[in-house]
Chain A
Amino acid sequence: QKEVEQDPGPLSVPEGAIVSLNCTYSNSAFQYFMWYRQYSRKGPELLMYTYSSGNKEDGRFTAQVDKSSKYISLFIRDSQPSDSATYLCAGGDTGGFKTIFGAGTRLFVKA
């Protein structure tokens, strides 16, 4: 079992839709979580990171962590064609300095 599981998609939505991207993790030592956006043939760009359960909002993006179910989500409101990219989730272990990435979900936002 992979430590971080992520549906590869692709996920296709119309412009303006609310997008929900999800990951599950198995390592109980993970205490912080990150979301990255990666455009084709570019490096991943850090969108947000969260350190605890609950929600964290930044503009159109909301990251949600539920440690009891080991489930993390990224919501994108009012999605735009420019949001079309691969989204990577990652879990981090503060004790072992270990960071594990999911395989990424490919998102297409159609104009």
Chain B
Amino acid sequence: EAGVTQSPTHLIKTRGQQATLRCSPISGHTSVYWYQQALGLGLQFLLWYDEGEERNRGNFPPRFSGRQFPNYSSELNVNALELEDSALYLCASSPAAVGGLNIQYFGAGTRLSVL
């Protein structure tokens, strides 16, 4: 069974540009989460999508946005890129919560470099 897949693996942009990152969840998983992991820092929660709806959002500016498609894949868009947006962006998926358990499985990440 395929795990969470993210594309591209690496992305190089210049300041002010827009970046689009993609995520395909594990088959059967309906929730997708996005995290930012800057070098040496922990996981910072960005967004949670479930059944096509945005369920929760972390403490990030509106230029971080995304969506979830009918096939449960997801896209993260970052507009007006800033140097400090350089980080590893991780996508995780989880199945529909059973008994409230929400175990997340991560992809390999997209490394975004803003020059």
Contacts and interface: CB of A to CB of B under 8 A. Distances in A.
B25 interface: no
Contacts of B101: 32, 49, 51, 92, 94
Contacts of A94: 97, 99-102
B103 A46 contact: yes
Contact of A41 (B6, B41, B43, B88): B88
B52 to A, nearest CB: 16
Contacts of B103: 32, 34, 46, 49, 92
A103 B109 contact: no
Interface of A: 31-32, 34, 36, 41-46, 49, 51, 88, 92-95, 97-99, 101-104
Nearest to A43: B106
Interface of B: 4, 6, 33, 41-43, 48, 55-56, 88, 90, 97, 99-109, 111
Which secondary structure dominates where chain B touches chain A? Answer: loop
State the main secondary structure of chain A at its contact with B.
strand
Contacts of A31: 100
Nearest to A100: B45
B55 A44 contact: no
B43 A88 contact: yes
Contacts of A99: 33, 102, 104
B42 A102 contact: yes
